[in-house]
Amino acid sequence: MTSRTVETTLRVRFAETDAQAVVYHANYLIYFEIGRAEYLRAQGFDYRAMEAAGTNFVVAEARATYRAPLRYDDEIVVSTRVAEVRHRSFTFAYEIRRGEALVSTGTTAHVCVDGEGRAITIPAELRALLEG
């Protein structure tokens, strides 16, 4: 398994905050997704080509921990890596930091599906990419 980690820098948008003046917790899943997209982009993945080929992957499970609040305009770094690759599914792991502080960890599990949404074996090209 690859130990590659891709870091993505983001700035908290006002739209992402809530009435507690911190980032609304569901939005961390969006940060994870941006980390995932940048990870795949860095590996040369072509989302539109995969979609055009009639395959896709969907989220099967998501987890996040919240260790410290994030506020408007905070600059954060999302560190993304592949944690596991199985036959039909794979898992990404994430860490969000603001400076040195670890503010969130999380994972998302994904299943490859065909055009009808049925689980399929991970396409070889995607597998190679996930396995680094």
Count CA atoms closer than 13 A to 121's CA, side-chain side: 4
Part of the chain binding a second copy (CB under 8 A), chosen from 18-26, 82-90, 94-102, 124-132: 18-26
Which neighbouring-strand residues pair with 95? 79, 105
Among 3, 48, 100, 116, the residue binding a second copy under the rule CB under 8 A is: 48
CB of 75 to a second copy, least distance (A): 12
Q: Is 29 in the site for a second copy (CB under 8 A)?
A: yes
CB of 100 to a second copy, least distance (A): 19
Q: CA-CA distance, 99 to 132, in Å (whole number)?
A: 28
Q: Which is nearer to a second copy, 3 or 118 (CB)?
A: 118
CB of 70 to a second copy, least distance (A): 11
Q: CA-CA distance, 36 to 80, in Å (whole number)?
A: 6
CB of 72 to a second copy, least distance (A): 5
Q: Which is nearer to a second copy, 4 or 41 (CB)?
A: 41
Residues with a known catalytic role:
18
State phi, psi for 11 to the nearest 5 degrees. Answer: -120, 135
Q: CA-CA distance, 26 to 109, in Å (whole number)?
A: 16
The answer for 44, left when phi > 0, alpha when psi is -120 to 50, beta otherwise, is: left
Q: Which is nearer to a second copy, 3 or 44 (CB)?
A: 44
